[in-house]
A and B are shown apart, each in its own frame.
Chain A
């Protein structure tokens, strides 16, 4: 949208509001009897979004549901990672939400890149890995061990090789949620 702030109906009187410095209560400039919560615009430096497919210009098909396009439009730079790189992605392509190349800075071919979440039409979410992550994240020591095992010093290829063992990531026509 490109606006510096936006009025929001809600949040007044909450402890969420009290704990944040990115929202204030301000009068409606057109109606002095009304006040609303006003939130400052969020402008992330970088958004990384995972697509079903993308082309070399940066046109891409994102997951069908969710507000990925809005996130892209709010961000200064947008990196799209994609299951597939194809010749051309257009707004007529089915199965996802189109994002135009005008919103995209860079495209990366990253098959399996949503793991442990899933990509509709490509693979289901890896529920067992998500459970492993949740168990690990419950305390600092086990979380460090998780990072050592899967992340720190590991390449994408090494990560994918590890999580694909026991065919955890499976191609599935019906797909799961990303």
Chain B
């Protein structure tokens, strides 16, 4: 059943991304990943009770894997990983290092590890961004932290990647070598999404509407998931303030 309850943007992204998490697979998120943590726990509480979930930085759900998670991913056995970025470009590159001239940046970001390694080897990457604008979706990123498209000689276990925003879901079409619109959220048109994206999204004449959050998803997120985040030391302050009362 479709929910009449309005979600905030963090809740919306957590719900939409939770649907991508599959039962029996291994899915993980890195540090400072509140929305992915909620998505993982929502999936576990609903359609993926046997999923292995790893929430780095959580007091109880971190699993203390250290380098094991790195090597799991290098072996191609990490099924899903979450990532965010400050910029995404037409060619499948993303930037989590600097905004502006890399030698004299306007802004420095954490960059590094997940961008250059985890995003290469996890089978599916879910990117997420709460801002969908032309400063986020640019023709060419200021700095390439991760290249999701590399020559065929660079073998990687990667299967697919998508970007979830507050307006739409963009998925990369490897055959056409560009992003397309997988679906557009209720309240927006495909043209609005294109107008806020700094590169071409291809044919936008027949884009489906993203199935909106259901009452059940919203309810589980705001009760079971919220409680579990608080009791396991998984961004408890975020859970208390961002996830709304049931």
Interface set of A (CB-CB < 8 Å, partner B): 8-17, 25, 33-36, 64-67, 70
Say yes or no: A13 contacts B117, CB within 8 Å: no
Q: Is the Cβ of B66 less than 8 Å from the Cβ of A67? A: yes
Given contact pairs A9-B120, A10-B120, A67-B67, A15 touches B74 in the complex (Cβ within 8 A): no
Beta-carbon contact of B144 and A36 below 8 Å? no
CB distance from B186 to the nearest CB of A (A): 36
Chain B minimum-CB-distance residue to A32: B153
A121 shortest CB reach to chain B, Å = 16
B177 CB-CB contact with A under 8 Å? no
Q: Is A13's CB under 8 angstroms from B150's CB?
A: yes
Do A15 and B143 touch (CB < 8 A)?
yes
Asked if B153 contacts A34 (CB within 8 A), the reply is yes
User: Can you name the residue of chain A whose Cβ is closest to the Cβ of B93?
Assistant: A13
Inter-subunit contact A70/B67 (CB<8 Å): yes
Question: Do B66 and A10 touch (CB < 8 A)?
Answer: no
CA distance A36 to B149 in the complex (A): 14
Query: What's the minimum C-beta distance from B142 to chain A, rounded to whole angstroms?
Result: 9
Contact B153 A11 (CB under 8 A): no
How many Å lie between the Cα of A66 and that of B56 in the bound state? 13
Is A9's CB under 8 angstroms from B66's CB? no
| CB–CB B147/A14 < 8 A | yes
Contact A9 B93 (CB under 8 A): no
Q: How far is the CB of A33 from chain B (nearest CB, A)?
A: 7
Nearest chain B residue, comparing its CB with the CB of A28 = B155
6 A-B residue pairs with CB within 8 Å? A8-B74, A9-B156, A13-B150, A16-B145, A35-B154, A66-B66
